[in-house]
Amino acid sequence: MEIIILLVVVVVLLVAVPDIRRSLITRPAFGFFKRVLPPLSPTEREAMQAGDTWWDADLFSGRPDWHKFHQTKAPQFTEAEQAFIDNQLETLLAMLDDFRIVQQDADLPKKVWDYIRKEKFFAMIIGKEFGGLDFSPAANSHIVSRIATRSISAAVSVMVPNSLGPGELLTHYGTEEQKNYWLPRLADGTDIPCFALTGPEAGSDAGAIPDTGIVCKGEFDGKEVVGIRLNWSKRYITLAPVATVLGLAFKLYDPDGLMGEQKDIGITCALIPTNHPGVETGERHLPLNQAFMNGTTYGKDVFIPLEWIIGGKDYAGKGWRMLMECLSAGRGISLPALAAATGHVTERMTGAYAYVRQQFGMPIGLFEGVQAAMGKIGGTNYTLESMRRLTVTALCEGKSPSVITAMTKYHMTEMGRQVMDAAMDVHAGKGIQLGPRNYLGHGYMATPVSITVEGANILTRNLMIFGQGATRCHPYVLAEMEAASNPNEDEGLQQFDSLLLKHIGFAAGNFFGSLFMGLTGARFNASPMSGPTARYYQQLTRMSRALALTADMAMLVMGGDLKRREMLSARLGDVLSHLYMASAVLKRYEDDGRQSGDLPFVEYALEHHLYETGEAFKGFFANFPSRIVAWTLRLAIFPLGIHYHKPSDANLQAVAKSMMEPGVTRDRHTFLCFWKDDAKDMIGHMELAFLAMREHADIYKRIRKAVKHGDIAEDLSGDELVKAARKAEVITADEAKALKKTEQLRMTAIGVDQFAPGVIEKRKFY
Ligand SMILES: Cc1cc2nc3c(=O)[nH]c(=O)nc-3n(C[C@H](O)[C@H](O)[C@H](O)COP(=O)(O)OP(=O)(O)OC[C@H]3O[C@@H](n4cnc5c(N)ncnc54)[C@H](O)[C@@H]3O)c2cc1C
């Protein structure tokens, strides 16, 4: 007893008497913190500090405020946005023939380019005062997604000027003169922009670009002025082959001190007309057969005036910060939009095809193996659309959420790849044979493009999500890092002291909270909703607390090493991401009015995200270098074991069944898909066959029964089947008419395209 009293007195003295605490706890901890602080390069520091936090900070804190979360309103389109979506967008979609665009012309038709420019598809993010559309992120995302269900090449062409590039950089940083000159020209399509950062030696490590600008005197408009002599070699640049204005990132040096004392000024962005002397628009790349314009650009000793720096002289050397600050919007919209389109198309078409395609005498969608693939597509698409909406909601609130957009970019493109693979498996030969009727092939080929651009996925998962998340979302770490790097040591120590106390309380709360929730199965956690989703809220709060505890311990034990141990830190990033995705699913379910038809999809998604959360923790504990810490964490968080499971077989079957059911659930889940009710249309031919077969399901059922009884011969189809069924009096004369039409549609739908000899061979490269 005396020992306990003594211990309590010591702790109280340490905590309550600042001088004792500072010398015995804070100062050593401060020294330790400075030692283990991850060494940050200036570009990493700028990336880390760019952007905002949002719901990710709640999840990282271990105490998500679900009520606040559900108060966030899903964005609505304005009247102007809705009118554009109903008119201009539909007109554009009807003009797109992706097979022709990709396989024959390797370009969008001129009338499509003209329409896109005239109707300002390139100007969605440009303000009305400059003649732009000034659309919200929600409208931008919807428009790009819907175009992508028709043509990835057209979607990429539209998305790039509305993503990180000249339009966005000018809007945020341009001088009045630059804005007044360029933005109206970009808005009305007079100019087409591209933005060139990547080069042969600088891909993921874009901060290492070798392209240079030297401040010097030169001649411009017949006068001698101070300007920049540029040399660059860039590749992979989207729209470069057709761009009339080039946004260029380069490193600026001022060896003669013409701009000031600083010689190495840093990354700078400038806008250069592509017809300026010395600018060389290079040749085209062929990005996995897609037809969007992508290519190289070079410049040798190109002289430009200082006024061409975006933002003017004041923004010389601030290019990296500008790019990092603006990265979030495009990253949260563009490639996620392509992935959302993949989800919508694969769910709608796989459901239809699995019903239309019959093997072994029945629709392939009735076989359990196929249902497993279908369940994955439907369940994953629920998350894809939920994540698209939630991230767009943050962007519509004016946030620039760097961690959320990194999670969205990475996970949506990865999920897009997974649903595409599953859809290809179900479609088999139908997905492989290219032609006007193949709605999967081009999307399948384009999948790695989304994986690679705007932060290649391995890097995004392993460096950015947790690397940024841990510092940006943690309630204390960023402030502690700032205190530790305060050049005034005493001031830094004082700031650190008050943060440390709170941090210790936070960590203790996470430890005991996790243990309690682990022992009680989180049953005492409050849930904002009752009903079938209530348990998921309890579990997500529990996993959020577990993440807060584990992240703290990982940083404490490994310090700067955690950044290098990408396999470990990525797993904690996965936990954060799966919590975010599960939240998005719950929010959508509520926002959509708790549709009962959605429940199998919601259940799939939530079971999957909890399972993956458990797996990420499992992998982390198994590989964490300090075994004692790993075991302590595992025992505190999962004292009764890790009991999350993959979605059940029954759940997969329920999702698959729903995908083969025409009606509101199917329509709501795939509303982004565009098609024409035409048997020649890419998606329309499958849709028509599916709906006709569903309408006449009872006729097919009767025929199957008759085949079983031997009244109709096996393996008949089309007219032969109609005749035999009529002869056996299994169907009426009217039914025979309907069946004949349906069989024609079915044959078209299971058909693939074929080409006369020589047609394919005509595409010549040599
Ligand atoms: C179709 C297409 C369009 C593009 N459009 C543009 C454009 O308009 N403008 C522009 O400037 N650029 C553009 N890019 C370039 C794009 O942003 C780069 O391709 C991307 O940054 C990756 O660079 P890289 O391809 O050289 O891959 P690399 O940098 O060589 O990376 C190779 C692999 O290593 C991984 N990796 C690298 N470093 C790390 C690390 N530290 N930790 C973990 N993994 C790591 C990457 O994730 C990747 O998987 C485009 C590229 C393509 C393919």
Range list of H helices, 125-205? 137-148, 152-159, 166-173, 176-187
Phi, psi of 371, deg, nearest 5: -60, -35
Q: Is a pLDDT exceeding 90 seen at residue 459?
A: yes
pLDDT band at 10 (very low <50, low <70, confident <90, very high): low
How much distance in Å is there from the Cα of 525 to the middle of ligand 1?
43
Ligand 1 atom nearest 457 alpha carbon: 47
Query: Can you tell me the distance from the alpha carbon of 75 to that of 588, in angstroms, rounded to the nearest whole number?
Result: 12
| Residue of 204, 245, 463 best suited for mutating to test ligand 1, as the one with most atoms within 8 Å of CB | 204
DSSP string, 398-411: T--BHHHHHHHHHH
Instruction: List pocket residues of ligand 1, CB cut-off 6 Å.
Output: 194-198, 203-204, 236-238, 287, 294, 449, 452-453, 456, 458-459, 462-463, 566
Task: Provide the pLDDT for residue 31.
Answer: 82
Q: How far is the CA of 199 from the centre of ligand 1 (A)?
A: 10
The reply to whether domains 79-188 and 193-322 share a CATH topology is: no
Closest atom, ligand 1, to C-alpha of 292: 1
Q: Are 665 and 598 in contact (CB under 8 A)?
A: yes
Model pLDDT, residue 562:
87
Query: pLDDT tier at 410 (50, 70, 90 boundaries)?
Result: very high
3-state class percentages of the chain: helix first, strand second, coil last, to nearest 5: 65, 10, 25
User: Whole-angstrom Cα distance, residue 109 to residue 420?
Assistant: 27
- Alpha carbon of 249 to those of 267, 320, 449: distances in Å? 7, 9, 22
Protein residue with least CA distance to atom 24, ligand 1: 203
pLDDT, position 255: 97
- The ligand 1 atom at the shortest distance from the C-alpha of residue 290 is 1
Query: Which atom of ligand 1 is the closest one to the Cα of 285?
Result: 1
> What is the pLDDT at residue 3?
61
Q: How far is CA 316 from the centre of its chain?
A: 31
Q: What atom in ligand 1 is closest to the CA of residue 458?
A: 47
Give yes or no for residue 267 having a pLDDT over 70.
Answer: yes
- Residue with the nearest Cα to atom 12 of ligand 1? 198
Q: What average pLDDT does range 657-669 have in this prediction? A: 98
Atom 44 of ligand 1: nearest residue by CA position: 459
* Residues 420/444, Cβ–Cβ less than 8 Å: yes
Helix intervals (H) in 368-488: 368-396, 402-427, 429-432, 441-452, 457-459, 466-472, 477-484
Return the minimum-mean-pLDDT range out of 16-20, 362-366, 386-390.
16-20
Residue of 236, 323, 410, 460 best suited for mutating to test ligand 1, as the one with most atoms within 8 Å of CB: 236
Which tens digits make up the pLDDT trace of 465-489? Answer: 998 888 888 888 888 888 887 778 8
- For the segment 689-699, the average pLDDT, to the nearest whole number, is 97
Q: How far is the CA of 202 from the centre of ligand 1 (A)?
A: 8
Average pLDDT (318-324) is: 93
CATH class name, domain 79-188: mainly alpha
Q: How far is the CA of 290 from the centre of ligand 1 (A)?
A: 18
Q: Say whether 565 sits in a helix, a strand or coil.
A: coil
pTM value is: 0.95
What residue's CA is closest to ligand 1, atom 30?
Answer: 203
Which atom of ligand 1 lies at the shortest distance from residue 205's CA?
A: 29
**What is the arithmetic mean of pLDDT over 255-283?**
97
Tell which one of 452, 463, 567 to mutate to probe ligand 1, the residue whose CB is within 8 A of the most ligand atoms: 452
Query: Residue whose CA is closest, atom 17 of ligand 1?
Result: 453
From 410, 341, 399, 284, select the one nearest 147 (Cα to Cα). Answer: 341
Report domain extents, the chain.
1-36, 37-67+461-643, 79-188, 193-322, 682-750
- Predicted confidence (pLDDT) at residue 766 exceeds the cutoff of 80: no
Written as six digits, the tokens of 309 are 């720096």
Within 13 Å and on the Cβ side, how many CA atoms surround 134? 10
Task: Look at residue 189 and tell me whether its pLDDT is greater than 90.
Answer: yes
Among protein residues, the one whose CA lies closest to atom 39 of ligand 1: 459
**Cα(548)–Cα(509) distance, integer angstroms:** 10
Q: Is 90 a catalytic residue?
A: no
Q: DSSP state, 128?
A: G
Q: What pLDDT is stored for residue 15 in this prediction?
A: 65
DSSP 8-class letter at 463: I
**Catalytic hit among 325, 454, 735, 743:** 454
- CA dist 47 and 465 (Å) reads 12
> What CA–CA distance (Å, rounded) separates 592 from 595?
7
The residue among 737 and 492 whose pLDDT is bigger is 737
- Return the pLDDT at 349: 98
Strand duo 193-196 + 245-253: pairing: parallel
CA separation for the pair 540, 534 (Å, rounded): 10
**How many A from CA of 558 to the centre of ligand 1?**
28
- Whether the predicted pLDDT of 760 surpasses 70: yes
Residue 759 has pLDDT above 80, yes or no: yes
Q: Is the pLDDT assigned to residue 41 strictly greater than 80?
A: no
Q: Which residue among 152, 163, 198 has the greatest number of ligand 1 atoms within 8 angstroms of its CB, and so is best to mutate?
A: 198
Residue nearest to ligand 1 atom 40, measured at CA: 459
> How far apart are the CA of 27 and the centre of ligand 1, in A?
43
List, as one string, the DSSP characters of 212-229. Answer: EEEEEEEEETTEEEEEEE
Percent of the chain's residues with pLDDT above 90: 83
pLDDT at 291 over 70: yes
**pLDDT at residue 500, as a whole number:** 87
CB 579 within 8 A of CB 540: yes
pLDDT class for 25, splitting at 50, 70, 90? confident
Mean pLDDT over 322-336 rounds to 91
The answer to whether the CB of 517 falls within 8 A of the CB of 544 is no
| Tokens 């999967």 sit on residue | 440
**Residue 112 near residue 121 (C-beta atoms within 8 A):** no
pLDDT at 590 over 60: yes
Are the C-beta atoms of residues 235 and 198 closer than 8 Å to each other?
yes
Q: Which amino acid is at 766?
A: Y
What confidence score (pLDDT) does residue 7 get?
A: 60
The token pair that represents 262 in the structure block: 């600083």
Q: How far is the CA of 235 from the centre of ligand 1 (A)?
A: 11
Query: Mean pLDDT across the stretch 434-446?
Result: 97
- Long-range contacts, 16-21 (Cβ 8 Å, 24+): 18/497, 21/497, 21/501
How far, in Å, from the CA of 382 to the mean position of ligand 1? 28
pLDDT tops 80 at residue 511: yes
Q: What is the pLDDT of residue 468?
A: 84
| Nearest protein Cα to ligand 1, atom 27 | 203
Query: What's the rounded Cα separation, in Å, for the pair 250 and 209?
Result: 7
- Give the residue-averaged pLDDT of 73-88: 97
- CA angle, residues 704, 706, 710, in degrees to nearest 5: 115
pLDDT at position 183, please? Answer: 98
Gap from CA of 453 to ligand 1 centroid (Å): 6
Residue nearest to atom 7 of ligand 1 (CA): 237
What's the rounded mean pLDDT across residues 82-100? 98
Question: Using one digit for the tens of pLDDT, what is the confidence trace for 382-404?
Answer: 999 999 999 999 999 999 999 99
Mutate to test the pocket of ligand 1, among 294, 453, 466, 468 (most ligand atoms within 8 A of CB): 453
Per-residue burial over 322-337, b = 16 or more CB atoms within 10 Å of its CB, e = otherwise: bbbbbbbbbbbbbbbb
Average pLDDT, the chain: 94
Contact call for residues 334 and 292 (beta carbons, < 8 A) = no
Question: What pLDDT is stored for residue 45 in this prediction?
Answer: 67
Closest CA to 380 of 605, 221, 555: 605
Question: Cα separation of 549 and 555, whole Å?
Answer: 10
Q: How far is the CA of 457 from the centre of ligand 1 (A)?
A: 9
Ligand 1 atom closest to 239 (CA) = 8
Nearest atom in ligand 1 to the alpha carbon of residue 456 is 47
Q: Provide the CATH number for the domain formed by 193-322 in this structure.
A: 2.40.110.10
Residue 199 is classified by DSSP as B
Mean pLDDT value of segment 234-240: 98
